[in-house]
Structure 1
Amino acid sequence: MLLGAVADDFTGASDLANTLARGGMATMQFVGAGTGAAPAGCEAGVVALKTRSIAPAEAVRQSLDAARWLLAQGCEQIIFKYCSTFDSTPEGNIGPVAEALLDLLGTGVAVVCPVFPAAGRRLFMGHLFVGDRLLSESGMEKHPLTPMTDPDIRRWLRRQTRGEVGHVPLDTVRAGGAALAAAIDAEAAAARRLVVTDAVADQDLLAIGAAVAGHRLVTGGSGIALGLPQNFRAKGRLSGEPMTLPAVHGPAIVLCGSCSSASQAQVAAYRADRPGLAVDPAELMDGRMTLGRAVEWVRSHAGEAPIVYSTAAPDAVREAQKQFGREAVAAAIETFFGDLARTVAEDGMKRIVVGGGETSGAVVEALGLRSLQIGSEIAPGVPALVTERGGPLGLALKSGNFGGADFFAKAVGQVGTA
């Protein structure tokens, strides 16, 4: 294995694995830190963790364990992958994990670049935009777990870190490789180990990728990996042989726990011609909605690719959180979807499409998966996945904000294909 990545959630791991596979690296996604050797032929390994919203110290511990396993596989460079909307709290976890990885790798600097132009995430003058809006005006300021109220990534990151935070502006990124590399080196010499680096287009990410070819650690969204496969290809290190995937056939289900505006539109579009079961957070908490009720409903619609969703307007979610507690509501929703996914898979469901990062993590953990192979791209940042669980099982794991209104229909048709 040449390149390793530590991702702070499951959808982000799939997003990054998709980018590396499209770049020509034989890529696999792993669930949690491995315990043995990676399969032969794997050139890039992405370890999916669920550390975005947990206590910073525990996020650091899990991330270091994953990085140590990747290093033991021979990885020469580590990526720390987080969300392209920089989802985090003032305490972490991006800053603490990045600093811990710098210490582990014994290196002096890493770029910080959550940019993903294909999904409208761009960084200019240190400020993160989603489409034509600042991050703090994009809807992410209302996120129930990680409300992003400040678009200045330098300022937000500084609240999470021990040291000062550097910055490389867009003009320098576009001034050529030598100028970009010199700017990063200058920040490192000034003891600014984490360097927020502007980018607004894929060409900027390719330039950054070339500039960090010799860096032990790179941090960012999946876009930061666009230029990294070429660094290994230029040295003749890539085989050019993709990993083969088995085909998956059988009934499908969609599970959506995201409350983003994109997810709300996707659920509405899918429900226009598919059966749907709404899971109200308050009903789940007070026992009116149960796993048994949901399972029976799914069984009655098993051949229709139904959708089960807890997607609701932010106000409704906040009301449930106010009544029952934010962490209790989140845990109940995750447990519900994880248990539902495991039960329907045991019933013979062969294709499972999941919306929402936390929901995706809960589903993968409940299914007991250890590794996934990367298939074709369904939407920017979202590949079809295949794993073995008593036979091939097809999956798609989507971050809440990703994909167009027709995403779920596209995913049901494409998931599990090579």
Structure 2
Amino acid sequence: MAAQDLIFGVVADDLTGGVEIASLLVAGGVPTEFRIGVQHGEPEFDAAAAVVALKSRVAPVAEAKESAAEAANWLRRRNPRQTFFKYCATFDSTPEGNIGCCTDLMKEIVGAERVIFCPSFPEKERTVYNGHLFVGRDLVSESPKRHDPLTPMTEPDLVKVLQPQTRHGIGVLPWKAVSSGAKAMARIVEELVDSGRPYIIADAICDADLEALAEFTADWPLVTGNSTIAACFPAIWRRRGLLDGHPAPKRLGPLRGPGAVLAGSCAEQTISQLEEFRKAGRPVLRIDLREALSGEDPAAQALAWTENHMGEGEFAIATSAEVSAVNELQERMGRRAAADLAESVLARIAVGLVERGLGRLVVAGGETSGAVVNALGISRLAVGPQKRGSIPIAQGDLGRPFGLCLKSGKLGPDDIFADRLQAMEKGEI
């Protein structure tokens, strides 16, 4: 392989997912470049893999397609051996998009004849069986995901979820074939492609299934799914000698300075994490966004509140709310406008905190993370390795090193906020 070629080029539909897949690649010993947003100029960097994290998951379809195509074409300048489209384990999307429509474009760009869709994350009990998505024992439509304010998942059959988003036919690679090995999978895939169904939802209920699917698709030009199947590729590349000559990823150092949490996710897990943070004795400010409709300035009020806390340890500011409050705000403003309000408030707070000397920041929520990082003007991150059962940390450049942990609202143990702030301070993973 030529020195300038990439082994792996990733387009992620949100920032937290992009950081997650980058951290798993780094943990697998793969030097990985991480960029945020659509890139311009030549992709000049020394790495075996590159991740471009977009904010396209809930963007208007035309905008999502444009950014996905630009990211994929930018990566193609480095001739990646394989392109990967990363989305959420719960297949977050709507009938309009944006998984199917973005995959359609990438399929054309890389010249793929067939594409696998593998969202499963068995460790977090997100699994696919008979083409249906489960969260634990429940279908996704019976899980809290059905209440997601932006991408409510009310249909568990992923064929039905994906079909309105794409012009291509869709089939299922059943667990019986996945668990039987490459020959069984190849037979089913050929039958599906020959019958006009090149988009293939893969069943996977355990890590062994992901490993089998990764081995099976390691030479496919385009693979899509969650970060967990991507985490299986480094071992394959190493076995094939593709990583020979690449240096080990660099370690992140410790960071000092005040630490804070900004939470915009309304996921039940984030609500629990905020409560755990509060019970541990750390101050938590809950912002009621409904007050902004009456002329209040919640960002300015929150920054005034922090004046008494910046030098006294870590604190949290949250727009996270229970389902009833979210529904009320959406009824008054509309779903997208309500989300935009939450993101803009937290982004303004982030900028104000950095101006006041903040050194470490945990952000809960994929869309919130994108808004915050964009407001801070960060377009490149050094990402640390994934620690099993936790959330990775990263560092950006604000004229000084700045610590970040960008967390999906649904993930992480209850004590994740304090744990990640301390990890940044100590230089741990």
Point out the more displaced range, 184-193 or 114-123. 184-193
Shift of 1:181: 3.0
**CA distance in 1: counterparts of 2:110 and 2:43, whole angstroms:** 21
Q: Distance in 1 between matches of 2:38 and 2:296?
A: 37
Q: Which residue of 2 aligns with 1:291?
A: 299
Aligned to 1:86: 91
Q: SS at 2:254's partner residue?
A: coil
1:57-96 paired onto structure 2 within 5 Å: 57-96=62-101
Which residue identity does 2:255 align to in structure 1?
V
Provide, for residues 142-182 of structure 1, a one-character-per-residue CA deviation record: whole Å limited to 9, x for no partner: 11111100111111111211121011001100111232233
Kindly provide the amino acid, as one letter, of the partner of residue 282 in structure 2.
R
Does the CA-based 8 Å contact 1:26-1:241 persist in structure 2? yes
- 1:321 Cα shift? 1.2
Q: Given the two structures, how large is their TM-score scaled by the length of structure 1? A: 0.96
Instruction: Provide the C-alpha distance between the structure 2 equivalents of 1:67 and 1:402, rounded to a whole number of angstroms.
Output: 27
Instruction: Give yes or no for the alignment of 1:164 onto 2:136.
Output: no
The alignment status of 1:246 with 2:253, answered yes or no, reads yes
**Which amino acid in 1 is paired with 2:411?**
F
1:268 aligned counterpart, secondary structure: helix
Conservation of the 8 A alpha-carbon contact between 2:359 and 2:402: yes
Alpha carbons 2:391, 2:420 under 8 Å: kept: no
AA paired with 1:372?
L
Aligned-pair CA distance for 1:381: 6.6
Question: CA shift at 1:40, angstroms?
Answer: 3.7
Structure 1: gaps spanning 5 or more residues: none
2:384 aligned with 1:384, yes or no? no
- Secondary structure (helix, strand or coil) at the match of 2:90 reads coil
Offset at residue 221 of structure 1 (A): 0.8
Residue 372 (structure 1) aligned to one of 378, 381, 399: 381
Give yes or no for the alignment of 1:257 onto 2:264.
Answer: yes
Q: In the alignment, which of 222, 232, 253 is matched to residue 227 of structure 2?
A: 222
2:184 matched residue in structure 1 = 179
Q: How far apart are residue 27 of structure 1 and its match?
A: 1.5
Report the AA paired with residue 19 of structure 1.
Answer: L
**1:173·1:180 contact (CA, 8 Å) conserved in 2?**
yes
Counterpart of 1:317?
Answer: 326
Letter in 1 for 2:253: P
How many residues are treated as equivalent by the alignment? 418
Select between 224-233 and 404-413 the one with higher mean Cα deviation.
224-233
Which amino acid counterpart does residue 262 of structure 1 have in structure 2? Q
| Residues 1:230 and 1:188: Cα distance change in structure 2 (over 3 Å) | farther
Give the 3 Å change call, closer, same or farther, for CA 257–18 of structure 1 in structure 2: same
Give ranges in structure 2 of 5+ residues lacking alignment.
Answer: 1-5
Shift in Å at residue 245 of structure 1?
2.6
Distance 1:109 1:54, change over 3 A: same
**Superposition deviation, residue 134 in structure 1:** 0.9
> How far apart are the structure 1 equivalents of 2:254 and 2:396?
10
- After superposition, the Cα gap between the structure-2 partners of 1:36 and 1:227, relative to the gap in structure 1 and judged at 3 Å, is same
- 1:223-265 per-residue CA deviation (whole Å, 9 max, x = no partner) reads 1202222332222121251223333111100000011111111
Task: Assess if the C-alpha contact under 8 Å between 1:379 and 1:407 holds in 2.
Answer: no
Change (3 A) 1:285 1:2: farther
% identical aligned pairs: 39
Aligned counterparts, 1:405-416, within 5 A: 405-415=414-424
Post-superposition shift, 1:39? Answer: 5.4
Deviations 1:172-224 (A, max 9, x none): 00111232233223322222121000001111111111111111100001112
List per-residue Cα deviations over 1:38-65 (Å, max 9, x = no partner): 4543111111100111111211110010
Equivalent AA in structure 1 for residue 81 of structure 2 = E
Distance 2:212 2:65 in 1: 29
